[in-house]
Amino acid sequence: QSALTQPPSASGSAGQSVTISCTGTSSDVGGYYYVSWYQQHPGKAPKLLIYEVTKRPSGVPDRFSGSKSGNTASLTVSGLQAEDEADYYCSSYAGNNKFVVFGGGTKLTVL
């Protein structure tokens, strides 16, 4: 059982937007501005998409955006493209005890 809760699946048509939620507690998501999101295609390593809730590493399209409210963070993918079909994981810093916790992952399907 993962520390952070994500929906197991999400879907949207090409060109549409989809939002994936990530719910934690005040000890992780709600307590720090250190939520990150990762994209993982089958058989590949995860790739950092968002860090510090809203920041994008160089090279990540601005179609990917992040936000947070209280204990819940969200990833929005706008203008869905076929290559966005992948698993998405959220994570949060959780202090000097658990350090980093992950969500269980959300499989995004582009219809």
Partner 1 sequence: EVQLVESGGGLIQPGGSLRLSCAGSGFTVSSNFMNWVRQAPGKGLEWVSIVYSGGSTYYADSVKGRFTISRDISKNTLSLQMNTLRVEDTAMYYCARGTGDTAPIAFDVWGQGTMVTVSS
The distance of closest approach from Cβ of residue 84 to partner 1 in the complex, given in angstroms and rounded to an integer, is 19
101 counts as binding partner 1 under rule CB under 8 A: yes
Q: 10 Å Cβ neighbour count for 31?
A: 15
From 9-17, 21-29, 30-38, 67-75, give the range in contact with partner 1 by CB under 8 A: 30-38
How many whole angstroms separate alpha carbon 48 and alpha carbon 64?
11
Binding-site residue total for partner 1 (CB under 8 A)? 24
The answer to whether the beta carbons of residues 66 and 35 sit under 8 Å apart is yes
The distance of closest approach from Cβ of residue 5 to partner 1 in the complex, given in angstroms and rounded to an integer, is 11
Of 52-81, binders to partner 1 (CB under 8 A) are 52, 57
How many whole angstroms separate alpha carbon 13 and alpha carbon 69?
26
